[in-house]
Structure 1
Amino acid sequence: MIFNSVTEKFIFYSFPAILFSLIPFFLITGPFLSDLSVSLIGLIFLIYCFKEKNFSYFKHKYFYFFLIFWVYLVINTLINNFNFQSLKISFFFFRYGIFVIAIFALLNFDCKFIKYFFYCIFICFIALIIDGFYQYFVGENILGWSKTNRTSSFFGEEKILGSYLSRLWPIFFGLSIFLFKQKNKTFILFISIFILSETLIFLSGDRTAFFYINLSAIFVILFSQKLKKLRLLTLFISIFLIVMISLIYPSAKNRLIDKTLNEMNLGDIKDEDSQEIYIFSKIHTNYYITSYRMFLDNKILGVGVKNYRNFCGDEKYKVNKKSCSTHPHNSYVQILSETGLIGFLFLIVALFYFCKNVLRHALLKFKAKSIFNDFEICILSGIAIYLWPFVPTGSIFNNWLNIALILNFPFLIWSIKSNKTNN
């Protein structure tokens, strides 16, 4: 990137870097500010590219793959059960791809704003940990918001405290390794935050988030070079704290373990109307059956982007009155039912590419070599939780979830390219 004045540098570098650094704060407030930041960063970067007549940043295989997927979403929407809501979602989906390339370009120009982004996550985690534990033990947070049935801290009725912590945890952990030496006294504070945040995810009662944080931990332990002992230490201490708290306050344990088993029809309280084992729960099973019926009827293109909500009430698809929702609560099932086999192929290709490179990395470890450094492994662990197929999820077209996901990609692409350049 080349700037002809201080003003240009502020507009095209400093301002987008500030917006990016503040996204961890914005995600706590909801999807609006974070989505506005993503859109503005992408728009400013496009203006810069047109001004300089330089589009070389987009000559990247990952962007080409994303671009083809985006084109398919738009075409699918236009020819398949068209409605303006679906068109708005699919058309503006391109902002995520441009955002990733924009941040990658900023990192290539000057990566010093990584520290500002890290400190924003650091402050957010500390604030949520203090407020979350206070709410769990006292019954209301520092703003006076009651806990109701789950600890949610500043997220209030959204109840996505665990989701926020589990999805940003890999980036936070990875950046702390990247920016600070592990023997540094400051790093002891980070370790404490890592442990307490894992514990708070359990106490939040978010079962998917608790699975994610453990999946991320296993991934780092298996594939990192020098982080095994540290990650095992934080994991074991957090498990110890969870066990101790559960013995005194069993409510979180009841939700994550007992309620899960009961909903799967494996616990002490069984469904009197059925002896079947449910996939996560009876209502989730109904969603998946409804989605499968949609897929059988629309194998190639699906029912259309975010159209599950519009077709789940159809008599030929629904299982019962409770089989209808805004989305089928599983990314793979949603992609299959809403975008068909063509859309599902993109997801499978991404999964295959991810697994292929991770397995290559694992095999090279036996020869004392590696494809990814430990920072990249941490970021990859954050991507792995999104690619894991066997877990209830939010909508794949949810703005908040997509922003939390794409935060990983600029760091990963930049780090890989930097290492190749240095080597």
Structure 2
Amino acid sequence: MESRAAQQPAPCTGRCPCRISAGQGRIFRAGRHPGSGRRRISQPARHPPHSRFRAQIARIMIRTDIASLELTAGSGWTDVLRRINLYLFALLPLLLLFWRGGADAAASVIGISFLAVVIARRQWGLATHPLFAALLAIWLLLNLLVSPLAVDPAASFSRSVVWLRFALLFAAATCWLIQSRRDLKLVVVIWSATLAVSIVDGLVQLISGTSLTGNPMYNTTRLTGPLDRPNIGMFVARLGFPLLAAAPLLLGLRGRGIHIAAVAVAAVVGFVFILLTGERSAALLCAAALGAAGLGGILTFPRYRLQVLATLLVTGSIGGVVAAMSERIWYRVLQFGTVLKHFADSHYAELFGIGFDIWYNYPVFGAGMKNFQASCWAISAPQVTDGCPTHPHNIYIEWLAETGTVGLVFYLAFLVLVLAAAWPLLRGSTTARLTGLLVAGCFVVLLFPLIATQSQFSNWPALVFWTSLALTMAIARLALKEHS
């Protein structure tokens, strides 16, 4: 009788049909090696559910890839035009401080220039990238459905038509203007100088009661700096955090100690200034962003968890000391605690409630852009204690009230694509991961939902938002490009 060992088939080697079939997506489950003479039974390979899920995620990441999304500079007039618009983009924060009309015009020029280069070079494929296609779809939705069905169509069209400039500004900065570390360094230097001017002006206002630009404090409790309204804290927070995210790219992992120390000191000074402005939303968003980046650093770089924890503790301690030493800031902290404790009876709950009331009456496409106040007077005026505002002080409720469920879904889809495009940073090189953590902090400052914020449709705050998001995604793209 043939022994049991002799009956065992030989192992698969070389170009065995078993191996070939397995490579073509079919594996032998119940059969033996063909040389054994036994009957073969084959069936398609079955991948476990988690493998299929990971494959789906991989396909999504491929579709949202921005590393290779670049409108190359070319030569001749297109390169000259890019350089001019790069300087315009670098000067946008300065224009936002001192010449709002100029900032709006500069953003429009950047968008039109980008569109002209796309047309001249016939780069139509950019419009099919999910990020830009989503923005184009939002703009079409606003003009084809939201504005025609608005409470006041003329008012809605006055905003929806020109909303395209924000989408073009975002696209231009992401894939055209910033193509190298040199371009990024130019923007960072000019933005940093602009924020330094804002901080110095605000500190002079804190000490003397009047800023160098001649603006008094707002209600003796909040700083304005060069602005005529108390928004300088959010301005510094939203435009300052992308500068922090650019540091790993510009300094590298082995940057000179003095440069790294300068960045750390600048970050602490900026955080302390935001606290001193008295803007609770800006301070909370910065604290949350630093905390999120720090927690991510502990999980991503466990070797440096003690250093990260020490940095967070020192920063938090400095913030606590500043709040405790300033009677004005401590009063704002107590006010915030009171608002949280009695939120249902607060002014913010009333504002949010108005937004939901408007959405309840116009659930699909909203009341229309620039129609919040008019709709409030028509629907909720009897219940409003301080008059109808122009917006609900929350960007997501604003999208819901003015563009309806459809508009909010489109906007959320765009944000998901933004997050998906930046996600590969956290799986890249050390520099890419560090950049990704700071980019995540930028997203917290810009997109955190449970906070009272400025309008996202009004020109000035909308420009601050889209300028910050544009630089953030340009940094993410450059980091992914260098990693790949």
Under TM normalisation by the shorter chain, which class is it? 0.7 to 0.9
State the partner residue of 2:343: 278
CA distance in 1, matches of 2:352, 2:294: 32
State the partner residue of 1:159: 230
State the partner residue of 2:376: 312
Deviation of the 1:296 alpha carbon: 1.7
Compared with structure 1, are the counterparts of its residues 144 and 95 closer, same or farther at alpha carbon in structure 2 (3 Å cutoff)?
closer
User: In 2, are the aligned partners of 1:286 and 1:323 still within 8 Å (CA)?
Assistant: no
Structure number with greater Rg is: 2
> 1:232-279 CA distances to partner (integer Å, 9 max, x unpaired)?
555433433333334433111211x11123344x3xxxxxxxxxx325
State the partner residue of 1:81: 151
* Structure 1 residue 116 corresponds to structure 2 residue 192: no
> 1:20-51 CA distances to partner (integer Å, 9 max, x unpaired)?
11112122225322222111011112222223
CA distance in 1, matches of 2:268, 2:307: 11
In the TM superposition, 1:312-351 aligns within 5 A as 312-315=376-379, 318-350=382-414
State the partner residue of 2:30: none
Deviates more, 1:339-348 or 1:235-244: 235-244
Compared with structure 1, are the counterparts of its residues 373 and 409 closer, same or farther at alpha carbon in structure 2 (3 Å cutoff)?
farther
User: In 1, are the aligned partners of 2:294 and 2:309 still within 8 Å (CA)?
Assistant: yes
* Structure 1 residue 240 corresponds to structure 2 residue 293: no
CA distance in 2, matches of 1:358, 1:414: 10
CA distance in 1, matches of 2:355, 2:148: 21
State the partner residue of 2:89: 20
Deviation of the 1:420 alpha carbon: 5.7
SS of 1:155's partner is: coil
Compared with structure 1, are the counterparts of its residues 371 and 357 closer, same or farther at alpha carbon in structure 2 (3 Å cutoff)?
farther
Deviation of the 1:74 alpha carbon: 1.0
SS of 2:383's partner is: coil
Deviation of the 1:206 alpha carbon: 0.3
User: In 1, are the aligned partners of 2:151 and 2:375 still within 8 Å (CA)?
Assistant: no
CA distance in 2, matches of 1:133, 1:417: 35
State the partner residue of 2:288: 215
Deviates more, 1:238-247 or 1:120-129: 238-247
Report the number of matched residues. 404
User: In 2, are the aligned partners of 1:150 and 1:159 still within 8 Å (CA)?
Assistant: no
CA distance in 2, matches of 1:347, 1:78: 19
User: In 1, are the aligned partners of 2:174 and 2:474 still within 8 Å (CA)?
Assistant: yes
User: In 1, are the aligned partners of 2:376 and 2:388 still within 8 Å (CA)?
Assistant: yes
Compared with structure 1, are the counterparts of its residues 59 and 347 closer, same or farther at alpha carbon in structure 2 (3 Å cutoff)?
closer
Deviation of the 1:77 alpha carbon: 0.2
In the TM superposition, 1:10-409 aligns within 5 A as 10=80, 12-29=81-98, 31-75=100-144, 76-107=146-177, 109-148=179-218, 149-181=220-252, 182-224=255-297, 225=300, 235-255=312-332, 257-264=333-340, 266=341, 277-279=342-344, 282-315=346-379, 318-350=382-414, 352=416, 373-407=433-467, 408-409=469-470
Deviates more, 1:152-161 or 1:353-362: 353-362
State the partner residue of 2:65: none
SS of 1:142's partner is: coil
CA distance in 2, matches of 1:235, 1:27: 31
Identity %: 17
Amino acid of the residue matched to residue 83 of structure 1? P
CA RMSD of aligned residues (A): 3.0
